[in-house]
Amino acid sequence: MSPERAAASSVRQPGLVLTDHFFDVPLDHAVPDGERIRIYAREVVAAGRMRDDLPWLVFLQGGPGCAAGRPVGREGWLDRALDEYRVLLLDQRGTGRSTPANRQTLPLRGTPAEQAAYLAHFRADSIVRDCEHIRPLLTGGRPWSVLGQSFGGFCAVTYLSYAPEGLAEVLITGGLPSLDADADEVYRAAYPRMERKCLAHYARYPGDEAAARRIAAHLAEHEEVLPDGTLLTVEAFQQLGILLGTGDGSHRLHYLLEDAFVDTVDGPRLSDAFGEQVAAVLTRADNPLYAILHEAIYAQDGRATHWSAERIRSEFPQFAYGFDSGARFLFTGETVHPWMLRTHAALRPLRHTAELLAEHKGWTPLYDAERLARNEVPVAAAVYHDDLYVDTDHSLRTARAIAGLRTWVTDEYEHDGVRASGRVVLDRLLGLVRGEV
């Protein structure tokens, strides 16, 4: 057994066999003999097929900074994948059971500057090199297939750019990034989408705007702290708009808003039940890298992102909260702001580290447009019409730039289509990539 790979252990669920894998990989792949970190991946195979010579499919989770899902039986897209693949659910570096990177562990690295230097190795390029380090240990050198959801799709395009020899086929859902747009361009396109999604929500649930304004007015006058220690400001409350990018998110937001207040001896206050639900949406305790590295996923021209979402928000004054009865109350979406380092309990200890990363210069390219134009790997991508999280126009421009890529543009699903659709989205992508549809 390779010293880079720990002994595997397996457990069973109805219809599945799950096997743990741990791999030691270089922190910096440019320094292969330097410091190493641990990467965890869960192998999933259909019961009764453990000994079959199945091709591998690696699932790259959305994020950044989110661990792979934990399966419970043959559900959703995994059910379709297990018809013909041995699936690898990768906990990307810093997440899940891989060497963790959070408020508890990062101080072990030393100063905020040392923490920031460490986290600079946690972008898509490093994740791809982790995959290439792991691949020969599992496949014997054969290329494998990749399914990338959201940020996982960004990683897949990086994979196509720098290690296409490791890929048999690539399937992307809601994750075709712009090859050249910087963070400012990304957010300049994002705020109008946030507004459209918010107004569409109010058209569905007309009473929700008044309910949202009442909550915002309360927050402007009262300090409310969520169960996880997060300070719920008006701006933090607006971030519940992140729900509007998923298939059931509008309904979830409606039910959250309709029963927010409870009468107390001090007058109306936000209920504990409301606070628990809001905390579950806004917390960054389980994925702090989602906030700390979010803008870095768009950085590749050597310039600092400098809190892009916050700066660009000022170009869209309709998102500023006020008591003007004629103004709309707008939720926001997938944005990260410097004030979150004060309001969000899990981010406060990482404030200086996050500030250094926001000012970091020297980010290197994540995509190779010339190589993508010569791509020979079969690729198919689901592009969700008016996706809240990934700009449709950016995605289609990238689709045209990758040779041989086939798209399925649909408004049947939101950004989480591959999860919400059961077998449908993955089955369609497999048909596209194989020329069957």
Residues annotated as part of the active site: 150, 387, 415
Beta bridge partners of 406: 380
Closest-CA residue to 58 (of 176, 178, 174, 142): 142
Tokens standing for residue 8: 């595997």
Q: Please give the Cα distance from 166 to 80 (Å, whole number).
A: 23
- Cβ proximity of 394 and 193 under 8 Å: no
Which has the closest alpha carbon to 232: 340, 371, 145? 340
The answer to whether the CB of 293 falls within 8 A of the CB of 155 is no
The rounded distance, in Å, linking the Cα atoms of 326 and 5 is 62
Question: What gap in Å lies between CA 70 and CA 83, rounded to an integer?
Answer: 19
Q: What is the enclosing helix (H) or strand (E) of 429?
A: helix 424-433
Using CA atoms in the order 97, 99, 105, 108, what is the torsion angle rounded to 10 degrees? Answer: 160
C-alpha to C-alpha distance for 37 and 23, rounded to whole angstroms: 8
CB 75 within 8 A of CB 426: no
Strand partners, 56: 86
Q: Give 15-50 as a DSSP string.
A: TEEEEEEEEEEESSTTSTTS-EEEEEEEEEEETT-T
Coil, strand, or helix at residue 136? helix
Given a contact cutoff of 8 angstroms between Cβ atoms, the answer to whether 415 and 387 are in contact is yes
Beta carbons within 10 angstroms of residue 326's beta carbon: 5
- Find out whether the peptide bond into 64 is cis, omega within 30 degrees of 0: yes
Name every residue whose Cβ is closer than 8 Å to that of residue 152 and which is 6 or more positions away in sequence: 59, 60, 61, 62, 63, 175
Residue 268 in contact with residue 262, Cβ under 8 Å? Answer: yes
Q: How many residues are recorded in the chain? A: 437
